[in-house]
Homo-oligomer: A and B are copies of this chain.
């Protein structure tokens, strides 16, 4: 890559990171290009879709979340590990408002730039769920896809301003529904 191209790309990523964090994942791409001092075509050349831009920005975080699942799998108790990971995953998507809807699409769309990341994330969660189930800590009649749906539902709720004051309660209720022991977490 030519040096000027790399400079533009880096600048775009830096600005996009700020703008997405501020305005959510549906922020204007035109605005990002403008703030990066770059032509709109340059943004599209480097990142052909919004998903591609987000994927580049968030890949490291997705991988960190998957790695975190591996970590929790060897350290904490099976049920606690699962709940902690559900919580951290929900909080992560909240830090990138609007991304959970894109992730729900991407996980079924092999052409999406976010597809691989989402599949990886779901697999990481599935491993934690399976371990908890093996130890009788999580309900048996639940699979990784359903767990991903529940996390997505929590993440979406978290994004709703009307819901904010009840975020923790709702998390506990749904996490409680996943575990065998019904006591709040």
Q: Contact residues of A with B, CB < 8 Å?
A: 101, 104-105, 107-108, 141-142, 145-146, 149-150, 152-154, 156-157, 160-163, 166, 169-170, 173-174, 176-177, 182, 184
Contact = CB atoms under 8 A, between A and B. Distances in A.
Contact of A142 (B141, B149, B173): B173
A107 B162 contact: yes
Contact of A149 (B157, B176, B184): B157
Q: How many copies does the complex hold?
A: 2
A170 B150 contact: yes
Contacts of A182: 182
Contacts of A157: 149, 152-153, 156
A160 B152 contact: yes
Given A142-B173, A173-B177, A108 B149 contact: no
Contacts of A173: 142, 146, 150, 177
20 contacts: A101-B160, A104-B160, A104-B162, A105-B161, A107-B162, A108-B162, A142-B173, A146-B166, A146-B169, A146-B170, A146-B173, A149-B163, A150-B170, A150-B173, A152-B157, A153-B153, A153-B154, A153-B157, A156-B156, A177-B177
Contacts of A174: 174, 177
Contacts of A142: 173
A145 to B, nearest CB: 6
